[in-house]
Structure 1
Amino acid sequence: MREFDLVSLRLFVATCDARSIARVGEKFNIVPSAVSKRLQQLETHTGVDLLVRSKSGVFPTPAGETLLEYARSMLFDADRAVRDMDAFVSGIRGKIRLLATLSAVAESLPEDVANFMQEKRHQGVQVDIEETLSRDIVRNLHAGVASVGICWDAAELDGVKTRPYRRDHLGVVTHPSHPLATLRSCCFEDTLDYEQVGLHPQTAGYRLLARAAEAAGKQIQYRSLLSTFDAVLRMVRAKLGITVAPIEIAATYAAALGLKVIPLTDDWAIRQLVICYRDEAILSPAAKSLVDYLALQGESDAPPPVTQSV
């Protein structure tokens, strides 16, 4: 079984970034010959050439590019482990890695987590929020990479426990000059005659809308697929299409960008976010407190608006 030496991986990553063994030696206060020896040992260990050495610099081979991606991830996790252990030394009583979808992060989750940590009984707890896809949240929970996740309840949640969190309501966002902008509400099928912009296909929201369009016997006419709500809504402002987005997010941008938000009347347009975890019995006391706190916010969550147009 091959096991990588983190010191060699760190020198390898630094060499790929600096394109120079000499500069890496200066950075780490190591003679260049020692850096070069480490890199050669790494190549011997992997059994492939990882670097091309030329007069213009040092560059990764295709195999080196592959290792570079893994090395960055391994070093990131190793450095985070050190920071987490240092947190316990400094007196923090608990550290929680919370994975959440883009919608959850863009809505109420940051404020809820901040309020949780500000409570006196939780001031020894630190929560790190990381945005990722619903499918990756469940996979990482199973792998033990994180203890708690927040995602939409329509995601594939096999093998994890869930508790309700907050709800949101989808609406169509348009430029004021768009034909739909005069409506106070509409159904999703009404949007399918117009070009749209949306989030990339890996998101749960994209798949939800694709299924709804298929049920209506139509296809969504996407003009652009982007990675953030901010970029999507700026495309709408530029009259490059309409979009379907959570009203709770769109309303924040609507006034600043001069957009109209029309609630969708479809039953599936009201979505339930859930807190997910592998098993309550293996949650740390800090993680259990966070789950209970977030669930309580969901219980007090008012029903989302259904007819108000922004």
Structure 2
Amino acid sequence: MKLDPTTLSLFVAVMEESAIARAAAREHIAPSAASRRLAELEDQLQVELFTRSNRGSVPTAAAYALLNMARGVLNDMDGIATQMKDYAQGGQEGLRGHVRVMANISSITQFLPAQLQRFLSQHPHVDVRLQERVSTDIARAVADNEADIGLLNNGSYGNKISLHPYRRDRLAVVMPQSHPLSRKRSLRLEQVVKHDLIGMHADSALNHLITRAAADQGLQPRLRMKVTGYDALCLMVASGLGIGILPEGSARIYMGTLPLRCIRLDESWAERQLMLCVRSQDALSPVAQLLTKHLCQPEETHKD
């Protein structure tokens, strides 16, 4: 059996776009040709991938099983092309390959830049492809083979991924330097929610954590607006529109450039565990295994 990578790419696009027309446009192929390729794929595999009706096509259980395998095959083929390109250009030394990493904003702003810099300086022929996502999307992407490694908040994400401790962080409150709370050495949530809050978007793990903690204490946050990034949050706070809660390490980035004060949030739930997730160690390529080991090293190891 000879499976065409173009057809596999089209199949993945159909599954991700939930429509043949949109998938065909994404893959730059006519819808009629796309339908024909999918039918030929079903004939080759001798299995029905889509249940067709007047309302459209619905993926079967076989289609979802194939999706995970197809992503893995396409990723491996992409890796072959990348590594052979390096050799064609004269490179001969060192580890080669590429790793797909998805991480939440807390990991990206606090820890990943320095870690990736160290790793890539040691392995310059490795290609790390990083995307920012929310934790639930990261877990799903790793389980579905869209990513090799995920960095996310600790939580329950099902049994298709394996979680490993990554880093701990601490939440803090940012406010204008002239704010009434700015002279405090630490803050409790009950003090914070009396003031207008700039929050993160509804799907973020941070928003869920604060909302749950407030509900547990019978508090009602005065949420003025929601933003999609820590930079936007700090800019809104610096403009006097409210105060915000974000990781202390992320807040430090903006302390030198914006007139802000950062005060630690004195709550047990405000100390968080970030995790690294993979499908399984055995499923990782050698270069992905090496990056996983590097990311999970204690901070003291890097400092030495």
What's the TM-score once normalised by structure 2's chain length?
0.72
Gaps of 5+ in 2: 1-6, 14-20, 39-54, 56-70, 88-94
Q: Deviations along 1:237-278, whole A, 9 cap, x unmatched?
A: 111010001111111102211100000111121112111111
Shift of 1:108: 1.5
Task: Give the alignment partner of residue 114 of structure 2, picking from 111, 114, 118.
Answer: 111
Cα distance in structure 1, aligned partners of 2:97 and 2:175: 44
Q: Deviations along 1:215-235, whole A, 9 cap, x unmatched?
A: 110122111101111111111
Paired residue secondary structure (1:196)? strand
Q: Please list, as runs of the form range in 1=range in 2, the aligned pairs for 1:154-233 lying within 5 A after superposition.
A: 154=155, 156=157, 158-233=159-234
Residue 20 of structure 1: aligned partner: none
Q: Deviations along 1:150-187, whole A, 9 cap, x unmatched?
A: 11113536432222222211001011121111101111
The sequence identity of aligned pairs, in percent, is 29
Cα distance in structure 1, aligned partners of 2:128 and 2:37: 38
Cα distance in structure 1, aligned partners of 2:218 and 2:281: 42
Q: What letter is aligned with 2:291?
A: L
Contact kept, 8 Å, 1:155 with 1:204, in 2: the verdict is no
Q: Please list, as runs of the form range in 1=range in 2, the aligned pairs for 1:1-12 lying within 5 A after superposition.
A: 12=25
Residue 49 of structure 2: aligned partner: none
Residue 276 of structure 1: aligned partner: 277
Residue 66 of structure 1: aligned partner: none
Q: What letter is aligned with 1:104?
A: S
Cα distance in structure 1, aligned partners of 2:163 and 2:247: 22
Residue 23 of structure 1: aligned partner: none
Contact kept, 8 Å, 2:24 with 2:34, in 1: the verdict is no
Q: What letter is aligned with 2:255?
A: A
Paired residue secondary structure (2:266)? coil
Cα distance in structure 1, aligned partners of 2:22 and 2:261: 51
Q: Does 1:86 align with 2:81?
A: yes
Residue 51 of structure 1: aligned partner: none
How much is the aligned-residue C-alpha RMSD, in angstroms? 3.2
Task: Give the alignment partner of residue 103 of structure 2, picking from 100, 104, 110.
Answer: 100
Shift of 1:81: 7.7
Cα distance in structure 2, aligned partners of 1:14 and 1:82: 17
Q: Please list, as runs of the form range in 1=range in 2, the aligned pairs for 1:31-42 lying within 5 A after superposition.
A: 38=30
Residue 235 of structure 1: aligned partner: 236
Contact kept, 8 Å, 1:167 with 1:301, in 2: the verdict is no
Residue 57 of structure 1: aligned partner: none
Cα distance in structure 2, aligned partners of 1:300 and 1:236: 36
Residue 289 of structure 2: aligned partner: 288
Q: Does 1:247 align with 2:242?
A: no
Provide closer, same or farther for how the CA distance between residues 44 and 300 of structure 1 changes in structure 2, counting only shifts above 3 A: closer
Higher Rg of the two aligned structures: 1
Count residues with an aligned counterpart: 248
Cα distance in structure 1, aligned partners of 2:300 and 2:158: 21
Paired residue secondary structure (2:296)? helix
Shift of 1:97: 0.2
Cα distance in structure 2, aligned partners of 1:106 and 1:244: 15
Q: What letter is aligned with 1:172?
A: V
Contact kept, 8 Å, 1:166 with 1:301, in 2: the verdict is no
Gaps of 5+ in 1: 16-34, 47-62, 64-76, 303-310
Residue 133 of structure 2: aligned partner: 132
Paired residue secondary structure (1:202)? coil
Paired residue secondary structure (1:162)? strand
Contact kept, 8 Å, 1:164 with 1:298, in 2: the verdict is no
Cα distance in structure 2, aligned partners of 1:265 and 1:142: 35
